[in-house]
Amino acid sequence: AQSVAQPEDQVNVAEGNPLTVKCTYSVSGNPYLFWYVQYPNRGLQFLLKYITGDNLVKGSYGFEAEFNKSQTSFHLKKPSALVSDSALYFCAVRDMMDSNYQLIWGAGTKLIIKP
């Protein structure tokens, strides 16, 4: 069965420091991987995706994520955190060959950037 794990409910980072939000996945075949961000009282916003090719994917707002097939991970990173990055972050996966059209979502990680 497909699944996504975000092992940290909350991540605290000081402004200006690098941040990492972890995501691991399980699919039978090859994955499509996504990161979304959710600000309070707003809809989910797409950040970046991995489809194929370069394992390092760059996205919106200076975020990037590294696909690691051997570790089945897709951690979200940013070199220098901003207070405005504070939000809820979701990782999602779909098996490339799966005829089921569902995205499988992690439970989310709350990112808090302290000034």
Partner 1 sequence: GAGVSQTPSNKVTEKGKYVELRCDPISGHTALYWYRQSLGQGPEFLIYFQGTGAADDSGLPNDRFFAVRPEGSVSTLKIQRTERGDSAVYLCASSLIPAGGPGEQFFGPGTRLTVL
Residue 3 is a binding residue for partner 1 (CB under 8 A): no
Instruction: Measure the CA dihedral 18/114/6/77, to 10°.
Output: -20
How would you class 82 by CB atoms within 10 Å of its CB: exposed for 0-12, middle for 13-18, buried for 19 or more? middle
Closer by beta carbon to partner 1, 100 or else 115: 100
Closer by beta carbon to partner 1, 15 or else 32: 32
Min. distance of Cβ 90 from partner 1 in angstroms? 5
The Cα–Cα gap between 114 and 80 comes to 12
The pattern of x and - marking residues 7 through 46 that bind partner 1 according to CB under 8 A reads -------------------------x-x-x----xxxxxx
Do the bridges between strand 109-114 and strand 10-14 make them parallel or antiparallel, or are there none, so unpaired?
parallel
Closer by beta carbon to partner 1, 54 or else 101: 101
